Amino acid sequence: MTETPKKLTPVKQLPDVETGKKEKDGIEYPVKHHRPYPGFRKNFYYYFAEYSSNTGIHGFKYMGEQERTIFERLWWLVLFCVSLYICINLIIQTWIKWDTSPVLVSFARSPTPVWQVPFPAVTVCSETKARQTKYNFTDYYHKIINESNEMTEDEKKKFSDLALVCENHIYNKGNLTTGFDTIEFLMGIAPDFNEMLWSCKYTLLNESCSNFFTPILTEEGLCFTFNMLDRSELLNNNVFLHGDYMSHGRKSEGWNLEDGYPKNAPINTYPRRAMSAGFSSGFLLLLRAYQQDLDYICRGPVQGFKILLHNPAETPRVGMQYFRAPLNQEVVVAVKPDMMTTSEGLKDYDPHRRQCYFPKERHLAFYQSYTQQNCEVECLTNYTLAKCECVAYHMPHEEGTPICGSGSITCMFEAQNELLRREVQSGINREEDESQKTSECDCLPGCTSLVYNAETSQAEFNWARVFQSYKVNFSEFPGVQMTRINIFFKEQQFITSERNELYGETDFLANCGGILGLFTGFSFLSIVEIVYFLSLRLMCNVKKYGRHYWSGSPELVNDDMYVHKK
């Protein structure tokens, strides 16, 4: 018995269309054929229904089911749109946070011992700018005030030169520029180092540490620095310095701010480092001044010394960062390093996004090592030169640059304040407008920075009673007044701060993926699935069934959505 073949029954019968007429027995009959293609709208609907039944995105399955009512489909469509809106909003907020604040400052995983960082460079400046026995500034001041005719031109010039290291209001009527003879005069009347330093002691030195102090020119006049880099490693070759200031001939033996000491560096290396914390492992300094040399007009009523602790790779700005060591006082200084490093993952970021410069990213015209303070000094130098057409005697400069005289004191003071105001205003503008990234100086912190925080305490130093106890003849020290300073690391170890990525690319993608997965069930494969349905699957379907559609024989089409009758 022959089995009759079953006919395919369409799930959705496509309407017939009249394509012409046929005559039979003198009667015309209309000829109808099945439409080979269901039309764009219907075909899109069937294709969307197929996608929704297969996708993993939440809610799409219910929007494509034929059995669902319009109300149910709209309900799921609204829920999906709300979830998508929340996702996009959260992702935008995450992006803004990543773009504006990509850096997270945290503590390092382990503490750093103090012997891995150099002992601070110690700069000592006397409050006495001119020994009265060498040049009586007080007498000449009263002659200038009274407009005495007894002063010669040379005496007026010397008074004008000394005004460069005194308070700004003392005298500013001299020449606009001056020469190197001014520096020689100022250094000649300044307190002599051998007279100022009574004794000093450093744990790792077998010889007197007085041999390790280097004269340096600062805004406070002549100062002396211990443990700072030599000028050949600190300044570029284009910088011109009159005399041998900042020069001691000792090399750093491989140390730099970013990498620290080499692993094979000896204990007694340079810059000097401490082996331990505590009073007994510090730096002891005994300074003296003579009563007959003190002057109370040039720098005011407070006599003694200014002390500054700073990074060995930067020049000191004594006028801005110092602590006082008064006469006949003992000052105890407990130092706690504050070191900031930056992870390698931030090197690909723009410096203004991470808010710091790596050494190779920012080169200074005058300094070999980039630090924020070196950058600020260089910027102030350039600004002063542009405004006053000269620079202060202590500023780094090229040969041939004019040196400002006392007549330019007001201009130099205004240049400093004007630059400061512009930097502050620039910072305010950046907070209001994030598109403004840089200031005039653009002196961001170094990505590796080292600052020495000091806790000081002081008490009366009754050195005269000590000398009496040892039966020392006081006639050898007429008018002597002394100050003792003890500098040491407060703790054996300290915690380093580190800049890290707030979000890396992986973290950002994981955050976005988590948000999308939580609200919509969306994943990377969902994107692949959408692309697949819009490209590869669609092309394959057209290639597989297209000729049957257009030949009028759609009987082979069976896509589980509709079937054409044969």
Are residues 48 and 157 located together in one domain of the fold? no
Does residue 264 form part of some domain? yes
Lowest mean pLDDT among 60-69, 227-236, 491-500: 60-69
Does residue 7 form part of some domain? no
Would the pLDDT of 369 be above 70?
Answer: yes
Residue-level pLDDT at 129: 92
Are residues 178 and 38 located together in one domain of the fold? no
Coil vs helix vs strand at 533: helix
Does residue 561 form part of some domain? no
Last residue of a domain, one of 501, 525, 544: 501
Last residue of a domain, one of 476, 501, 526: 501
Residue-level pLDDT at 316: 92
Per-residue 3-state assignment (H helix, E strand, C coil) for 79-108: HHHHHHHHHHHHHHHHHHHHHHCCEEEEEC
Type of residue found at 422 = R
Does residue 566 form part of some domain? no
Name the pTM for this structure: 0.76
Would the pLDDT of 340 be above 70?
Answer: yes
Are residues 214 and 150 located together in one domain of the fold? yes
d(CA 111, CA 391): 43
Are residues 291 and 376 located together in one domain of the fold? yes
Residue-level pLDDT at 281: 82
Q: Which two tokens stand for residue 454?
A: 């000091």
Q: Which two tokens stand for residue 405?
A: 């005289």
- Enclosing domain of residue 43: 16-99+516-556
Lowest mean pLDDT among 331-335, 415-419, 484-488, 509-513: 509-513
d(CA 393, CA 415): 15
pLDDT band at 560 (very low <50, low <70, confident <90, very high): very low
Q: Which two tokens stand for residue 557?
A: 């089409």
Are residues 91 and 235 located together in one domain of the fold? no
Are residues 80 and 146 located together in one domain of the fold? no
Coil vs helix vs strand at 328: coil
Counting the structural domains of the chain, the total is 2
Are residues 65 and 191 located together in one domain of the fold? no
Does residue 369 form part of some domain? yes
For the residues 296-310, what does the mean pLDDT come to? 91
Are residues 197 and 219 located together in one domain of the fold? yes
pLDDT band at 21 (very low <50, low <70, confident <90, very high): low
Decide which of 470 and 337 is more confident: 337
Does residue 337 form part of some domain? yes
Does residue 62 form part of some domain? yes
Are residues 355 and 450 located together in one domain of the fold? yes
Lowest mean pLDDT among 179-188, 403-412, 511-520: 511-520
Q: Each residue of 385-444: pLDDT tens digit? A: 999 999 999 999 999 999 999 999 999 999 999 999 988 888 777 666 655 556 678 899
Neighbouring-strand partners of residue 178: 403
Question: Residue 506 half-sphere exposure, CB side, CA atoms within 13 Å?
Answer: 2
Q: Which two tokens stand for residue 82?
A: 């709300």
Are residues 62 and 162 located together in one domain of the fold? no
pLDDT band at 27 (very low <50, low <70, confident <90, very high): low
Are residues 110 and 85 located together in one domain of the fold? no
pLDDT band at 31 (very low <50, low <70, confident <90, very high): low
CATH number of the domain encompassing residue 304: 2.60.470.10
Cis omega (within 30 of 0) on the bond before 271? Answer: yes
d(CA 541, CA 533): 10
Does residue 1 form part of some domain? no
Last residue of a domain, one of 501, 529, 548: 501
Are residues 110 and 21 located together in one domain of the fold? no
Residue-level pLDDT at 555: 41
